[in-house]
Amino acid sequence: MIEKTIEELRKDLDSKKITSSELVKESIELAYKYQNDYNSFVTICDDAAINEESKGALSGIPCAIKDNMSTKGILTTASSNILKNYVPFFDATVVEKLKKAGAVNIGKTVLDELAMGGTGTTGHTGPTRNPWDKERLIGGSSCGSAAAVALGIVPFSIGSDTGDSIRKPAAYGGIVGYKPTYGLVSRFGLFPFACSLDHVGCFTRSVKDAAIVMDGIKGNDKRDMTSLPDTNVNFENEITNDIKGKKLFYIKEIADRKTYEDDYDEELEQIITNFEKVIEDYKKLGATVEPISFDMKVLDAIYPAYLTISCAEATSNNSNLTGIIFGPRGEGESIEKIMFDARTKGFSELIKRRFVTGSYILQKENQERCFLNAQRVRRIVVDKMTQLYKTYDGMIGPAAGSIAPKFKSENVDKLSKRNLILENYLAIGNFGGFPSITLPCGFVNKMPIGLNITGAVRKDLEVLNIAYALESIYPYKGQIAKEVK
Amino acid sequence: MLGGIAMITKEKLKNYANKLMFDMNDDEYETLLKEFDVISKYMDLFGEIENIESVEPMTFPFELDSIELRNDSDSRNIEIEDALSNTGSKKGREIRVPKVVD
């Protein structure tokens, strides 16, 4: 039963074909069954409570929540040793809203430590594996949330997205991953990585389900000063697959084989061929699709700008992890020594490297060349996109430059166009706070690949519609990883 | 000089780490030093964009028109029991901390 979509489960629950207790039990059993092989969870909530009084679209539906969101009375580690014993005494707003809507949290999911990574391999409880192929990673940082949905443990999960941390794992896992407009979902209670880029979003197995989840978790929150005012939109009721007359664009250089001359391979050929098919399918659906050229130098600078801004903000955001306010107490004779010891022991090497990078970027002598230039790149990109959205309803593009990589992959050339652009351009969505969704659009070497759609600020419904239309003519809605099927 | 900036050294990296109140071992600094080859090239990419210096840095995704200043009054308090629930060591209603002042 639990492998169904939220929409289907709602009907079964309302017609009393099943009960919420049965669903939750099945969900928890599956979570345990797959835990050793895939490592989706930091904590599985055996005593997950059912809210009998709620009657909403999410009532009685099991879900999973990324372990960087505060859950009252439930261990919340951010997959880091420095928070390995932390039990919040309050709920994040998104958790509070899910509870109110009647959704049942069955577990806290693994992430890359402090959400600072894209591989799903750096959490303190070990790597998360891809349900389509255990030899491959699922991507990160929302690795456990993606795996739990791809495995069919839960019909939806909550993730966070600072560069592409929902949308890329969704592509690698053959599911839907949605990051709404910045401010649509409150960040109160989310452990910050880079505040100006962080978003809360969701994983589902259908676009309609993403709309349903968003209806449940959106809304103005006085505790988050960047929260947007409420609107009357109801995504579930208003979503439509009629996109006749809609205008879409794609970045010409991203879909151009010549861009990747240095490391072009058969896999990339199939990804680009698939994308060309998507373009034709959108035209069949009545949309227009046009190529738009970007300055290659700006495209090259997107990932470096993301890295710069996120590392700089992260060094500041995580300065409260001292072993005094948060984390296991360090040893030493002075406050400084206690903090120094706690932070030296509490952070993994990767996190320390990122923090040092942030520290370097913020040094007075480097700020102009690094930090301020990165923020200038951000404005150039966002201004260009905002201008384009005056004419177009959405941008489409491949969600990743490869299928999910193997754990022991060869070192990638970090300066190649494939890595700099195709693997990392989704950060555009974070730069401008644009709503952005990934949905499955095909297979390459028996692994799923995804399409990304990014739209204008506050045009979340438009983005959902564009995704919903394509999903309606593709056979991937509701799919679960075949390895576990 | 490298890319218009002073050469990165292990000592400098150690200084940056120490400013953030942690340390790494020698091997970790070596790995990071190699990583800075790429990071430095990344930073050089910004400078290749024409007239980048004339662009105003952007610190936030978009202009917010809904921000209000809150009144300077209590809005949320932490209950003592809640605050104590996460402490490693406590005595009665107080958190036990190590002695750091003579």
**Prediction ipTM score:** 0.92
Is residue A216 within 8 A of residue A58, CB to CB? The reply is yes
> What pLDDT score does A299 carry?
98
A66 among known catalytic residues: yes
> What pLDDT score does A467 carry?
98
Q: How far is B39 from chain A (nearest CA, A)?
A: 8
A141 among known catalytic residues: yes
Amino acid in position A441: C
A453 forms beta bridges with A396, A437
Interchain pair A301, B64: CB under 8 A = no
Interchain pair B49, A304: CB under 8 A = no
Show the low-confidence residues of chain A (pLDDT under 50): none
Closest chain B residue to the Cα of A325, Cα to Cα: B87
Task: Count CA atoms closer than 13 A to A476's CA, side-chain side.
Answer: 28
Is residue A151 within 8 A of residue A30, CB to CB? The reply is yes
Interchain pair B28, A375: CB under 8 A = no
Provide the mean pLDDT of chain B.
Answer: 87
Longest distance between any two alpha carbons in chain B, whole Å? 64
DSSP letter, residue A229: P
> What pLDDT score does B38 carry?
95
User: Is residue B2 scored above 70 in pLDDT?
Assistant: no
User: Is residue B1 scored above 70 in pLDDT?
Assistant: no
Q: Enter the pTM of the model.
A: 0.96
Q: How confident is the model at residue B83 (pLDDT cuts 50, 70, 90)?
A: confident
Interchain pair A433, B45: CB under 8 A = no
Q: Please spell the DSSP secondary structure of A348-372, one letter per residue.
A: -HHHHHHHHHHHHHHSHHHHIIIII
> What pLDDT score does B67 carry?
67
Q: E-strand spans in A224-336? A: 247-251, 288-292
- Of A27, A80, A142, A165, the catalytic one is A165
* Measured CA angle at A126 (ends A113, A157), to 5 deg: 65
Interchain pair B86, A87: CB under 8 A = yes
A402 among known catalytic residues: no
Helices (H), B20-71: 26-47
Phi/psi of residue A258, each to 5°?
A: -65, -25
Residues in chain B with CB shorter than 8 Å from the CB of A347 are 22
> What pLDDT score does A441 carry?
98
Q: Please spell the DSSP secondary structure of A223-248, one letter per residue.
A: TSTTPPPP----HHHH--S--TT-EE
Question: Does the N-terminal peptide bond of residue A141 adopt cis geometry, omega within 30 degrees of 0?
Answer: yes
Q: How confident is the model at residue B70 (pLDDT cuts 50, 70, 90)?
A: confident
> What pLDDT score does B60 carry?
94
Helix (H, G, I), strand (E, B) or coil at A287: coil
Helix (H, G, I), strand (E, B) or coil at A96: helix
Distance CA A396, CA B102 (A): 64
- Of A40, A59, A70, A141, the catalytic one is A141
In this complex, which of A229, A340, A357 lies closest to B66 when CB atoms are compared?
Answer: A229
Q: How far is CA B78 from the centre of its chain?
A: 26
